[in-house]
C-alpha cells in the first residue's frame, strides 16, 4: 500500500504550452461545501457521505474545502495535522484514497494540516481513480490580515509556505492547484495557463470580510484573464471556530461567467464542464496572439518616463 503515497508534481518543464483537449471533454464536477466540527471522525464521515452522494449524481471530479478535517483555527491545526508519510497516522488520506478508488473518481482533497520534518503545511492532496496520491500542493501564499475592528489573522505564525506550483494530469484534464489566498496572485494562474491547464481548483476559506468584497471577483478574474475554468470550494459558514467563512463555492467558465454557485450553508453543488468552451473562447478572443510581450519586457527592464 505504500505506493499509494508516491507523489510527483508535474514540473513546469514537463508541461506542454499549447492547449490540448483531454480524452474526457465533458463531465460533472462536484463542490462539497462541508460543515466542519471539532470532531475529526465526524468530519471524515461527512466528507465520505458527500463523496458518495456526488458520485451517485454522476460527478467525475470532486473538490473538497480548505481545512475540512478540522476547524479553521490555529488552536486546531497542529492537533489535527497528519504525517502523510505514515499511513497509520493519516486517517484522512486513507479515507480519500479509498473513496477515490472505490468510486473511480478524481478527488481534489481540499486542504489538510500536514506535519513534515517538524514543520506544518497547509496541503492539498490529489487522488486519481485508482486511489493513488498523484500530487500534493502546499499553500504558497500564506494569509496574513489585520483589519481593525473586523479580523486579525496571521497564517504565517503557524504554517510554512510551500515553494512549488502544482500541475497534475488526470482522467479529467490537466489541473492546476491553488489554496485560498493563492487565488489573489494572478501570476500563478497565468503560469498555469501557459502550461496547458484546463481548470484551476482552489479549495478556500475566505472570511466574511474579504469574501463579500473579493471572492467572486477574483475567481472571475482568474478565469476570464486566462480563458479557462476555475473551481472553488469553501467550508460552510456554520462551521465551528472563531474564523467565520464566507462559503459560496463556485464554478466559473472561461469567459468569466458563473456556471454554478452555492449559498453559505452546507451543500454540494454539481455542474457540467465542457472543455470545448475553452477553445471557443480562445478562438473568438485570441488573447495570446494579442499580447505585447515586446512592450512588457521593455517596461520591465527600463524605468518608465515620468
Residues carrying an active site annotation: 66, 139, 180
Nearest to 69 by CA among 263, 261, 239: 239
* 107-to-55, 141, 158, 203 alpha-carbon distances in Å: 11, 22, 26, 12
Count of CA atoms in the C-beta half-sphere (13 A) of 217: 8
Give CA–CA dist 19/236, Å, rounded.
34
- Proportion of the chain in helix, strand, coil states, percent, rounded to 5: 30, 25, 40
* 219-to-39, 41, 74, 197, 216 alpha-carbon distances in Å: 31, 31, 26, 16, 5
Beta bridge partners of 268: 32
Give CA–CA dist 31/261, Å, rounded.
9
Count of CA atoms in the C-beta half-sphere (13 A) of 295: 3
- Helix, coil or strand: residue 158: coil
Give CA–CA dist 107/96, Å, rounded.
8
Amino acid at each position: 500500500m505504500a505506493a499509494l503515497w508516491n507523489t510527483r508534481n508535474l514540473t513546469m518543464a514537463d508541461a506542454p504550452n499549447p492547449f490540448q483537449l483531454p480524452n474526457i471533454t465533458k463531465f460533472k464536477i462536484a463542490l462539497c461545501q462541508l460543515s466542519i466540527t471539532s470532531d475529526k471522525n465526524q468530519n471524515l464521515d461527512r466528507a465520505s457521505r458527500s463523496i458518495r452522494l456526488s458520485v451517485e449524481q454522476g460527478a467525475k471530479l470532486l473538490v473538497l474545502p480548505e481545512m475540512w478535517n478540522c476547524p479553521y483555527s490555529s488552536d486546531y491545526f497542529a492537533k489535527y495535522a497528519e504525517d502523510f508519510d505514515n499511513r497509520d497516522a493519516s486517517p484522512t488520506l486513507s479515507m480519500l484514497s479509498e473513496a477515490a478508488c472505490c468510486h473511480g473518481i478524481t478527488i481534489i482533497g481540499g486542504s489538510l494540516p500536514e506535519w513534515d520534518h517538524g514543520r506544518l503545511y497547509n496541503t492539498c492532496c490529489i487522488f486519481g481513480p485508482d486511489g493513488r496520491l498523484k500530487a500534493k500542493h502546499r499553500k504558497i501564499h500564506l494569509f496574513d490580515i489585520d483589519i481593525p475592528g473586523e479580523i486579525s489573522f496571521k497564517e504565517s505564525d503557524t504554517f510554512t509556505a510551500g515553494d512549488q506550483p502544482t500541475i497534475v494530469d488526470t482522467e479529467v484534464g490537466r489541473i492546476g492547484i491553488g489554496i485560498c489566498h493563492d487565488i489573489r496572485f494572478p501570476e500563478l494562474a497565468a503560469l498555469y495557463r501557459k502550461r496547458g491547464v484546463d481548470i484551476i481548483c482552489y479549495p478556500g476559506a475566505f472570511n466574511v470580510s474579504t469574501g463579500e468584497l473579493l471572492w467572486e471577483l477574483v475567481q472571475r478574474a482568474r478565469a476570464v484573464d486566462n480563458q479557462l475554468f476555475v473551481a472553488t470550494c469553501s467550508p460552510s459558514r456554520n462551521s465551528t471556530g472563531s474564523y467565520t467563512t464566507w462559503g459560496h463555492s463556485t464554478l466559473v467558465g472561461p469567459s468569466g461567467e458563473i456556471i454554478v454557485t452555492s449559498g453559505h450553508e452546507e451543500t454540494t453543488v454539481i455542474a457540467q464542464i465542457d472543455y470545448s468552451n475553452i477553445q471557443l473562447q480562445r478562438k473568438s478572443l485570441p488573447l495570446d496572439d494579442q499580447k505585447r510581450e515586446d512592450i512588457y519586457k521593455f517596461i520591465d527592464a527600463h524605468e518608465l518616463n515620468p
